[in-house]
Amino acid sequence: MTSKKTLRALWEFVAEPLLAVGLVFISTTAIAQPFYVPSGSMQPTLAIGDALIGSKFPYGYSRWSAPFGLGPASETRLLGKLPKRGDVVIFRKPGELQTTLVKRVIGLPGDRIQMRYGRLYINDAQVPLEPTGIVQAESESGRAQPAMRFTETLPGGVSHPILKLRWGALLDDTPVFTVPAGHLFMMGDNRDNSTDSRVPQAEGGVGYVPVENLMARAEVTIGSYDFLNAHGPATWPGLVRFERFFRTI
């Protein structure tokens, strides 16, 4: 009797924490997961220090939908669905799977992607670009520099902002990339400060991203903190960017 009472008491002690852990595991696997933005490659859409929520279900599920990549490798996804061109997606970096990145989907399987003189071409058609002014872009060192802001409209009608620091940048001219089946072509909105699918994996870039590597679709920023300019306790309260809370992406 004593051992049964001990076991019952032990179960009652651990049941609630186990249930909480189980609910967290299920929700972060099947529904949504928080992520943090440490770099400026997606400015102005995402700022350094943004915290965002990514939804898991829009593209179905792979091993990278689960915490720590639990599960078998597979080229297909459970309930899989391709992203739309223009979606902002969180994914595991090909060839460096411990690294999580966030970029915009530019090319779908079969698309031909090229940069010519800083302009984006999809399937040999130049993507419309409208200038919208000069803004300050923040670097990972905390320094701000002027950048040209444009609105880019992708095939299918999705319009989004991009930044250009200069014309004639390293990735302004590329060969034609033909996106393989089961892969995507990703680019950052901060075009001159993004090592993305324009750079092959062998050169430290992203290359083509297997659909299996998708983790979530970025949905909303839930907070933002300008930690790059935190120079002492007196500055900390003023670095919370309340204007970036609960912004759809």
DSSP label at residue 198 = T
**Of 41, 62, 194, 197, which one is the catalytic site residue?**
41
Torsion of CA 70, 31, 106, 161, to 10 degrees: -130
**Annotation says 141 is catalytic:** no
Rounded distance, CA 41 to CA 47, Å?
A: 9
φ/ψ of 108, rounded to 5, equals -100, 165
Residue 8, Cβ neighbours under 10 Å: how many? Answer: 10
CA distances from 238 to 25, 49, 227, 232, 235 (A): 34, 14, 10, 11, 6
The CA-to-CA distance between both ends of the chain, in Å, stands at 58
Strand positions, DSSP E, 127-207: 129-138, 144-153, 159-164, 177-178, 183-187
Residue 110, Cβ neighbours under 10 Å: how many? Answer: 11
**Annotation says 56 is catalytic:** no
CA distances from 224 to 176, 180, 195, 213, 243 (A): 37, 36, 23, 26, 9
Spatial CB neighbours of 222, under 8 Å, sequence gap ≥ 6:
34, 51, 52, 53, 245, 246
**Of 62, 65, 93, 103, which one is the catalytic site residue?**
103
Q: Give the active site residues.
A: 41, 103
